Amino acid sequence: MAKKYFGTDGIRGRVGQGQMTADAVLKLGWAVGRVLASKGNSRVVIGKDTRISGYMFESALEAGLSAAGIDVRLLGPMPTPGIAYLTRTLRASAGIVISASHNPFYDNGLKFFSAEGTKLPDEIEDEIEAMFEAPMETVESALLGKAGRVDDASGRYIEACKATIPIGTKFSGQKVVLDCANGATYHIAPSVFTELGARVITLGNTPDGLNINQACGSTHPEKLVQTVLENQADIGIAFDGDGDRVLMVDHTGRVIDGDEILYIIARARLAEGMPLKGVVGTLMSNMGFELAIKALGLDFARANVGDRYVLECLKEKGWCLGGENSGHIICLDKTTTGDGIVSALQVMAYLAQSEQTLAQALEGLSMFPQVLINVSLPAGADPMSDASVQAAVDAVDVKLAGRGRVLLRASGTEPLIRVMVEGEDEQQVTRYAQQIADAVKDSY
């Protein structure tokens, strides 16, 4: 059935509008609690990023869950993958993340994890949506849920991250710049890399509730590039606001995207002798990346955009490695969901073991020029079904003659159409992408 409230990555929107109001989140917490209680479950963990609205929504969820008779454990600011990990290890029935990921501070959202630390099944989301429509009723006072704070949440997750690379691996002598996006990794990532021996320079680690993702993090790597060059650092690492994405910068200042990170991790697994069969990318994954993965002797599959769909494809094929060029990397042999810190650690450990630089580890990968243009949509616009837009796409397909790709995709989190064109000639690709973007704008 079509979802009324849940998108591809939970619920997200402008604070104070739609479902992102205090009363709606209170009711949603109650609905989640009622569904869990009906299955005999009784404990939920809640974590958040650093947005100022997180305080409001944390309290609203706590109240709603308590009204449904569910106990709550508060984790405080914590990366999304850390919340998934603690949901499992604390034996909770579910985990709730209060975050809008890479969006500005004035947005927020809710993501949900099952007891296994994976995204909630569709049928559970359907039950929650149905319960949300029911009148809210509070359990008897003696049955109200209790709330408590997990004081050692950060330490637990730090140790879990370090445990994903071989014991004895050290980053001694490596100068690393971390950009924590003024988000949920600000108090976690510096400790992880420092404890592993790296000399760490940290950016974006002074959140004030309003500056999350603001000119920093994986969506704005410019300052990271500058800092790497100024300090002659070996590597730069940028996370997004909730810590499930990562991009990297090599010592020359070149930005390394998710496809390239995934390629290095695949090489690392093969070097370890791991029986890796294939890698999952998405519709946005670069054609050069696909060819390089196949050159390693691995199969390659494309999922729809969204880490949810990457995970579904991995499980369907029985593989363990996949991700998106945006920096969502899933290593199912290490975690249950995309994890920026863990992904960066896999790369760093391989570089240390192989005594290579980041640039050297990318040998064998030649990326096709890929241009992405985001076109804002007014309410009610539907350019995907417009004949002139389709004609523009068909015309570019003909010109690429099988040596490139065109992809139009509606964003699952923002009112945008994403126009992507990929081919061998960058100027040509840029021109084609702009032609299609102009056709999209002219359609409304």
Q: Which of 101, 154, 218, 343 is catalytic?
A: 101
Is position 4 within any domain?
A: no
Q: State the DSSP string of 142-173.
A: GGPPPEEE-TTHHHHHHHHHHTTS-TT---TT
Q: Which of 361, 389, 416 marks a domain boundary?
A: 361
Per-residue pLDDT of 160-191, as tens digits, reads 999 999 999 999 989 999 999 999 999 999 99
Same domain, 253 and 329: yes
Residues 56 and 134 grouped into a single domain: yes
Q: Domain for residue 5, yes or no?
A: no
**Known catalytic residue: 366?**
no
Pair (43, 130) in one structural domain: yes
CATH number at residue 109: 3.40.120.10
Supply the pLDDT for residue 384. Answer: 86
Domain that holds residue 23: 11-151
Say if residue 350 is in the same domain as residue 395. Answer: no
Domains: count for the chain: 3
pTM: 0.89
Together in a domain, 81 and 220: no
Whether residue 382 is found in the same domain as residue 344: no
Looking up residue 426, the CATH number of its domain turns out to be: 3.30.310.50
Closest CA to 165 of 145, 195, 141, 201: 195
End-of-domain residue from the set 361, 396, 427? 361
Please give the pLDDT value at position 412.
72
Q: Are residues 119 and 180 in the same domain?
A: no
**Alpha carbons 199 and 50: distance in angstroms, whole number:** 25
Are 95 and 81 contacting, i.e. CB atoms less than 8 angstroms apart?
A: no
Q: What is the pLDDT of residue 444?
A: 82
The answer on 333 and 210 residing in a single domain is yes
Residue 44 lies in a domain: yes
> Do 349 and 287 have their domain in common?
yes
Give every residue of the chain whose pLDDT is below 50, as ranges.
Answer: none
290 and 224 share a domain? yes
pLDDT at 176: 98
Q: Which of 361, 387, 416 is the last residue of a domain?
A: 361
Confirm whether 6 is domain-assigned. no
State the Cα angle at 410 between 395 and 10, rounded to 5°.
160
The answer to whether residues 267 and 172 belong to one domain is yes
Domain identity same for 190 and 296: yes
In the numeric block, the tokens 């509070």 are attached to 138
